Amino acid sequence: MADLSRRRLLTGAGLAVGAGAAAGAGLVRLAQPEPVQAAVPGGPIAFHGAHQAGIATPVQDRLHFASFDLGLDDPKKVAELMRRWTAAAERMTTGQEVGTGATGAELAPPDDTGEALDLPASRLTLTVGFGPTFFEKLKLPAPDRLKELPHFPADKLDPARSGGDICVQACADDPQVAVHAVRNLARIAFGAASVRWSQLGFGKTSSTTPEAQTPRNLMGFKDGTRNIAGSDRAALDAHVWVGQEGPEWLRGGSYLVARRIRMHIETWDRTSLKEQEDIFGRTKREGAPYGAAREHDPVPLDKLPADAHVRLAHPDSLGGVTILRRGYSFTDGSDNLGRLEAGLFFLAYQRDPEKGFIPIQRALAARDPLNEYIQHVGSGIWACPGGVRQGSFWGEALFS
């Protein structure tokens, strides 16, 4: 049993000895040749399908988000990178080692870096998107709706934490699995693309499973109460998935907006409960909207302060504008004044940024009292291709 590795568990031999012991740990899923939606905690989430996993699929606990810059401008070579990345992603999302594994020929570096050996798939999802600069560099036609985001008042964006030709969103229940995935994709990309910036996240601040307990953000409020459910196909089709209006490669895909939002935690912590609740228009403990008793009660907008965050961002205040939020909290230690470098790594998926993030952020940037306690310091937008079929690779139709 000493070599009951991630990889052996997936082989017949590994399963014969491993299945019984693994079942209780959520590893029994590995018996299936085709990954299926995680039915047990830690099970794999299907990589193939009509849509990329990691958008409407249940939100995992941890994030490693990476933005890559291309080092070449030949679309054929980038297609080859996507083919190699897809092959690695297919393996990692089912808990397998990359390529020939973490141990191979003695005199060559192994194909897999090895730190995820013995760990389950941990519901790893890998979601890829292409930014405006990707299309410029490769001289490929960009989708109409993929435009650099406008400047919003009070933005203080750091170019070193913004943009990027390709993004990879790795989500998993185990941070080591998410970090391993990004690290191995970066290793594969050597010579073709390199990491421009990356962000670790924990404590998801959204939910695509309304029946689950809503997580809390670092301000202590339940975050993600009113979000698009992963099972709400009508809402996903209307607000998240690109339809016939997009190029073929993007249909079933989505536009992703990322914002690194720093929180002035120490100032927030000196703010009265009443003011904190007024800012959101919801109670802190229950998460109920003002004028209602329970978290999931409908929001009586006229009972909320006119500039409450929830009122400003609510679809009824914005002609129906709706996004799917999938953000994570982050802390990157403390700054030189001893203040926690913390905040929200906000991620939003939408069918059209002009009918999603942009009008909401315009309203929030203009009036949200939360602005006194936050600052947007990083930003990016990417077009995420539709789902990957068996035998295909990320964005294949874009390159052919």
| Region binding ligand L6N33NVT by CB under 6 A among candidate stretches 29-37, 47-55, 131-139, 353-361 | 353-361
Going by C-alpha positions, the residue among 326, 400, 387 that lies closest to residue 356 is 326
Nearest distance from C-beta of residue 219 to ligand L6N33NVT, angstroms = 5
Within 10 Å of residue 378's Cβ, how many Cβ atoms? 24
In whole angstroms, what is the distance from residue 188 CA to residue 109 CA?
A: 12
CA distances from 378 to 90, 292, 308, 353 (A): 30, 35, 24, 17
CA angle 168, 254, 326 (to 5 degrees): 65
224: contact with ligand L6N33NVT by CB under 6 A: yes
Helices and strands, number each (H, E), in the chain: 11, 9
260: contact with ligand L6N33NVT by CB under 6 A: no
- Going through 10-144 in order, the beta strands assigned E by DSSP cover 62-70, 125-130
282: contact with ligand L6N33NVT by CB under 6 A: yes
361: contact with ligand L6N33NVT by CB under 6 A: yes
169: contact with ligand L6N33NVT by CB under 6 A: no
Long-range contact pairs involving 139-142 (C-beta distance under 8 Å, separation at least 24):
139/73, 139/75, 140/75, 140/398, 141/247, 142/383
* Residue from 28, 172, 374, 383 in contact with ligand L6N33NVT (CB under 6 A): 374
User: Which residue, 94 or 361, has its beta carbon nearer to ligand L6N33NVT?
Assistant: 361
91: contact with ligand L6N33NVT by CB under 6 A: no
Within 10 Å of residue 26's Cβ, how many Cβ atoms? 20
| Region binding ligand L6N33NVT by CB under 6 A among candidate stretches 30-38, 144-152, 266-274, 359-367 | 359-367
Residues in contact with 90: Cβ distance below 8 Å, sequence separation at least 6, in sequence order:
47, 48
* Residue from 27, 30, 299, 347 in contact with ligand L6N33NVT (CB under 6 A): 299
User: Which residue, 145 or 259, has its beta carbon nearer to ligand L6N33NVT?
Assistant: 259
Going by C-alpha positions, the residue among 13, 12, 51, 8 that lies closest to residue 32 is 12
User: Which residue, 172 or 308, has its beta carbon nearer to ligand L6N33NVT?
Assistant: 308
Nearest distance from C-beta of residue 113 to ligand L6N33NVT, angstroms = 33
User: Which residue, 195 or 318, has its beta carbon nearer to ligand L6N33NVT?
Assistant: 318
Question: What are 14's strand-pairing partners?
Answer: none
| Region binding ligand L6N33NVT by CB under 6 A among candidate stretches 14-22, 61-69, 221-229, 383-391 | 221-229
162: contact with ligand L6N33NVT by CB under 6 A: no
Note the residues at the interface with ligand L6N33NVT (CB under 6 A): 217, 219, 221-226, 259, 261, 263, 280, 282, 299, 309-310, 313-315, 323, 344, 346, 357, 360-361, 364, 374
